Amino acid sequence: MRVLVSGGAGYIGSVTAEVLLKSGHEVVVLDNLSRGHRAAVPTGATFAEGDVRRQDAVRQLLEDHRIECVMHFSASSLVGESMVDPGEYFGNNVVGVARLLEAMRHTGADRFIFSSTAATYGEPDEVPIREDSPVRPTNPYGESKAICERMLQWYESIHGIRFAALRYFNAAGASEEHGEDHEPETHLIPLALRAVSGEIVELQIFGRDYPTPDGTCVRDYIHVLDLADAHILALERLGDLGERFFNLGNGAGYSVLDVVQAVERVAGKPVPVKDAPRRPGDPARLVASADRARTVLGWNPQRAELDRIVGDAWAWKTRFPNGYAD
Ligand code: UFG
């Protein structure tokens, strides 16, 4: 299929574009390079530099390449940042999807795979979280994605653009070629790897007084290659899916301190840490029930162990110590 990957120069987008190409699909990457890297665009993909909010240019791109499906990764995606700059999240994420959908409806692109998030659930009543749990975001990032999910439902019922919203839990790890290179970096695993390498003085532990077994936040880490596989399955089965919303996680919760220990095992060195206050907007526990993705999509994550996930992130960092170096 001919697929437009918006945000294909970013972390999850570049890995998914790589897997799409290996699965025989044609890929056009659209990225404004505000946070992505030109060098992250996989070999074999056509690259167009531009912003999803430029509706006329996007429509032209869709027509020029006779795109059949859009996979939309380009978005602002940091919980903490969204608590200080909500305008960035509504302006980039919500407006981005609105313009993209309008561009699509005049073309033959009638399939949309949306990067959604566990942050749509907020502080869940029950863990593991199922897709029918209430959507009650506790930060503007989750809210912006929840609004987009509702827009997608209207565009499907009114304009026939079929969609799947994939609610990622905590993406981590790397393929051999593509990994996580954010500046500034705020995510736990890459920061722990920087701390163990001596690139930063210490890793801050944001809160030890959560209602969790060791007092630190619990998350469900999912290998980025397993996420990519779910996208391919959603793309190939979109026509006959009875469901639209899918959690993507392993169903296993690891605390911040569990991750620190995994990094120490993988790197063979201690991670210097320092206690810090809670980070605003962080829910205590986010763990997926991914039963629906398994049964409906036929998804079967292959890289579920935390040490495998951390090990692949470490291998990529060791291979590319300066990231994409641009
Ligand atoms: N953490 C620290 N120290 C750090 C960085 C993070 O203690 O230096 C903690 C956070 O407080 C949180 C956990 O580690 O409890 C994970 O934090 P990340 O920043 O790695 O990830 P988040 O859970 O905040 O968010 C990520 C993605 C979101 C996505 C969410 C879904 O960034 O886009 O997972 O669970 F919505």
pLDDT at residue 281, rounded to an integer: 84
Distance 322 CA to ligand 1 centre (A): 22
CA distance 113 to 20: 13
CA 19/CA 296 separation, integer angstroms = 21
Residue nearest to atom 12 of ligand 1 (CA): 217
> Residue of the nearest CA to atom 1 in ligand 1?
188
* Separation of CA 187 and ligand 1 centre (Å): 5
What are the tens digits of pLDDT across the range 259-271? 999 999 999 999 9
Query: Which residue in 104, 94, 107, 9 sits closest to 49, CA to CA?
Result: 9
Q: Scanning the structure block, which residue is given the tokens 């437009």?
A: 4
> Atom 10 of ligand 1 has which residue's CA nearest to it?
206
Rounded to the nearest 10 degrees, the angle between the axes of helix 95-105 and helix 55-64 is 40
Kindly give the interhelix angle for 224-237 and 11-22, rounded to the nearest 10 degrees: 60
> Residue 3 to residues 55, 72, 109, 112, 206: CA-CA distances in angstroms?
17, 10, 9, 10, 39
Which residue, 224, 219, 234, is CA-closest to 292?
234
Query: Roughly how many angstroms between the first and final C-alpha of the chain, as a whole number?
Result: 31
Rounded to the nearest whole angstrom, what is the distance from the C-alpha of residue 111 to the centroid of ligand 1? 30
Mean local confidence (pLDDT), 29-33: 98
Query: For residue 145, which atom of ligand 1 is closest to its CA?
Result: 36
Q: Which of 89, 141, 155, 254 is catalytic?
A: 141
Distance, CA 79 to ligand 1 centroid (Å)? 8
Under the banding of pLDDT at 50, 70 and 90, the label for residue 166 is very high
What is the per-residue pLDDT across 208-248, written as a single tens digit (0 to 9) for each?
999 999 999 999 999 999 999 999 999 999 988 899 999 99
For the chain, the average pLDDT equals 97
Report pLDDT for 110: 97
Instruction: Using the predicted structure, report yes or no on whether residue 326 has a pLDDT greater than 80.
Output: no
Number of the ligand 1 atom closest to the C-alpha atom of 77: 33
Atom of ligand 1 nearest to the CA of 256: 14
For the record, the structure tokens of 203 come out as 């890793």
Strand partners, 5: 29, 71
Q: Residues with Cβ within 6 A of ligand 1?
A: 77-79, 117-119, 169-170, 186-188, 191, 203-206, 217, 219, 256, 279, 282, 286
Q: Are 271 and 192 in contact (CB under 8 A)?
A: yes
Distance (Å) of CA 2 to CA 69, 99, 228: 7, 20, 16
Q: How confident is the model at residue 103 (pLDDT cuts 50, 70, 90)?
A: very high
> What is the helix (H) or strand (E) element at residue 87, kind and residue range?
helix 86-89
pLDDT digits (tens, 9 = 90+) for 178-210: 999 999 999 999 999 999 999 999 999 999 999
Residue 146's identity, in one-letter code, is: A
Residue to mutate, 187, 199, 214, ligand 1, most ligand atoms under 8 Å from C-beta:
187
List helix spans (H) across 160-241.
188-196, 224-237
Atom 34 of ligand 1 has which residue's CA nearest to it? Answer: 170
| 168 catalytic per annotation | no
The closest residue, in CA terms, to atom 35 on ligand 1 is 169
Cβ–Cβ under 8 Å, residues 16 and 22? no
| Bridge partner list, 163 | 112
Residue 241, pLDDT score: 85
Distance CA 51, CA 57 (A): 9
The DSSP letter of residue 253 is: -
pTM: 0.97
